[in-house]
Amino acid sequence: MKFVLDPKLENDSSFICDLTLTQVRLSHNAAFAWIILIPRLPNMVELIDLSVSEQEQLLKEIRLASHIMRTLFQPTKLNVANLGNVVSQLHIHVIARFNTDLAWPQPVWNSGVHQEYMNSEKQQRISLLVNAFMEP
C-alpha cells in the first residue's frame, strides 16, 4: 500500500516539505499562519494507529513545527490538534494564533473566518517555511 494524500487536504493546502515521517503543508486559509503535518503512511486515521516509534517520530516533527511556528510568527498561542472529523486521513494542525486574529479565542475550524492568499503572498510564506524546515 502506498501513501496517497486525501484530495480535500491536497486541495486545501500546498506542499512545504517532506520530513522523515510527515508531509508538511501550508493551509490555504490566509487568515491564519497554519500548517498541517500528514504522516506519509497508508490507512492512518488515529494517532494510535501509528506504531510507538512512529508516534515518537511524529512528536519530534510536531516539536520542530511548533518551534518554527513560534519563532517565525511569535503567536499568542499555538494550537496543535488532530481532529479528523471531516478528513479522516491522519493529519495534525499546527496553528499560530493571535489574540488579534479574527477567530480568537475560538478554534479556527468552523469559525467562518477564511481569507485567500494572493499568489505572491502564498509563495513567500511557503519559501519562509521551507527555509525554516530545511535549516540544519
Cβ within 8 Å of residue 54, ≥6 positions away: 21, 39, 41
- Least distance in angstroms from the C-beta of 9 to its own copies: 15
| Position among 6, 14, 84, 132 found at the interface with its own copies (CB under 8 A) | 84
- Least distance in angstroms from the C-beta of 124 to its own copies: 25
Question: Which of these, 79, 9, 4, lies nearest to 44 by C-alpha position?
Answer: 4
| Position among 14, 30, 41, 70 found at the interface with its own copies (CB under 8 A) | 70
Between helix 119-134 and helix 52-73 the angle, nearest 10°, is 120
Please answer whether residues 66 and 78 qualify as being in contact, where contact means their C-beta atoms are separated by less than 8 angstroms. Answer: yes
Q: Is 56 an interacting residue with respect to its own copies (CB under 8 A)?
A: yes
Q: Which residues bind its own copies (CB under 8 A)?
A: 45-48, 52, 55-56, 59, 62-63, 66-67, 70, 76-86, 88, 97, 104-107, 109-111
